[in-house]
């Protein structure tokens, strides 16, 4: 009669099974990863780092593996390494209430956003700071904008935070800054489509990230590198890159994590994505907008049938933003 496995042995088996499945998915999707990955990291290194993150955070092994691979591929496209070592980006498990199982999502940290901005060569430095009760802090808008911050607080914490600000130093010598109050920060946090647990454990970092995102929107688009635009597409459309599943769908979902990804589900998701794209195009045309102006370079002159899911998500995000601006104006 065999002995029952200890909790540690059960966890080790779960980690090993998930790692094997993830490794097979990485191998199958390696051509796709190589086609989108930034030149600052290799696919092989990204794979090793991602699997190491699973060992550091066993809860990732409870996620649906395709969502894990998709998050890693998003990270690869941005040229960021996941994990706490650099603080560039994080692989976070989320429970999907509709699907009733955990999925993995990519959360880009403010340090990752700073790294992306510097790659353009037109932004030489980005500073981002938090202001707390007791600090000397003064801002002035108008023809001669200025920002003065003298940290004097003796109790810096999420509870005493009053503002965050980000400052971009441009290669031209100009400076651009963006300031957010705590009320504005909490408005962003509370307005999320789904709760993000990272806010609870890393409030200051997420607040700083929010300031940088606002700063990005203030900068001339010509200053933004391709990675910055890609980051915007990912975050604004909540897009998931297209991942090729294993040949045996029943092997994809780990025990207890939820149903496997079936071909019927993939077809339904693709149909829904196409409907959203068609609806956005129709709305844009009704408002006098030219949908072709919002196509990525690689999509221009091609039939919509040839667009990948990540390209469709990117187009949807751009159309949605343009439609909202047009309706607001």
Tokens of 277: 């794209």
Q: What average pLDDT score do residues 165-189 get?
A: 91
Q: Is the pLDDT of residue 27 over 50?
A: yes
Span 219-232, pLDDT tens digits:
765 545 555 555 65
Tens of pLDDT, residues 218-268: 776 554 555 555 565 555 444 445 555 555 433 444 444 444 444 444 454
The answer to whether residues 150 and 135 touch, using CB atoms and an 8 Å cutoff, is yes
Q: Can you give the pLDDT at residue 308?
A: 74
Q: For residue range 138-158, what is the model confidence (pLDDT) as tens digits?
A: 999 988 899 999 998 888 888
pTM above 0.75, yes or no: no
Catalogue the long-range contacts made by 169-178 (C-beta closer than 8 Å, 24 or more residues apart): 169/123, 169/124, 169/125, 169/126, 169/127, 170/122, 170/123, 170/124, 170/223, 171/121, 171/122, 171/123, 171/124, 172/122, 176/215, 176/218, 176/219, 177/145, 177/147, 177/215, 178/211, 178/214, 178/215, 178/218
Rounded Cα distance between 47 and 49, Å, is 6
- Best CA proximity match to 254, nearest among 5, 11, 44, 76: 11
Q: Residue 207 burial by CB count (10 A; 0-12/13-18/19+): exposed, middle or buried?
A: buried
Lowest mean pLDDT among 21-35, 174-188, 285-299: 285-299
């Amino acid at each position: 009669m065999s002995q029952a496995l200890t909790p540690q042995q059960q966890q080790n088996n779960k980690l090993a099974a998930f790692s094997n499945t993830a490794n097979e998915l990485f191998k199958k999707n390696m051509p796709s990863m190589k086609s989108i990955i930034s030149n600052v990291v290799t696919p092989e290194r990204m794979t090793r780092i991602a699997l190491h993150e699973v060992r550091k955070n066993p809860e990732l092994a409870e996620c649906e593996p395709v969502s894990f691979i998709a998050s890693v591929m998003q990270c690869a496209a941005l040229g960021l390494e996941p994990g706490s070592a650099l603080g560039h980006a994080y692989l976070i498990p989320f429970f999907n209430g509709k699907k009733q199982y955990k999925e993995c999502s990519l959360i880009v940290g403010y340090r990752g956003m700073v790294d992306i901005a510097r790659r353009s060569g037109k932004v030489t430095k980005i500073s981002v700071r938090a202001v707390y009760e007791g600090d000397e802090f003064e801002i002035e808008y108008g023809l001669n904008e200025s920002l003065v911050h003298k940290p004097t607080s003796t109790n810096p914490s999420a509870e005493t935070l009053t503002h965050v600000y980000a400052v971009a130093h441009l290669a031209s010598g100009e400076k651009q800054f963006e300031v957010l109050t705590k009320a504005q920060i909490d408005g962003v946090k509370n307005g999320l489509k789904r709760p993000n647990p990272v806010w609870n454990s890393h409030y200051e970092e997420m607040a700083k990230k929010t300031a940088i995102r606002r700063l990005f929107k203030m900068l001339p688009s010509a200053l933004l590198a391709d990675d910055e635009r890609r980051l915007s597409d990912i975050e604004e459309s909540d897009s998931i890159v297209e991942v090729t599943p294993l040949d045996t769908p029943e092997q994809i979902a780990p025990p207890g994590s939820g149903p496997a990804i079936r071909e019927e589900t993939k077809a339904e998701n693709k149909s829904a994505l196409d409907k959203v794209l068609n609806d956005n195009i129709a709305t844009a045309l009704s408002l006098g907008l030219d949908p072709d102006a919002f196509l990525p370079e690689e999509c221009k002159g091609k039939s919509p049938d040839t667009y990948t899911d990540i390209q469709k998500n990117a187009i949807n995000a751009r159309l949605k933003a343009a439609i909202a601006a047009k309706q607001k104006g």
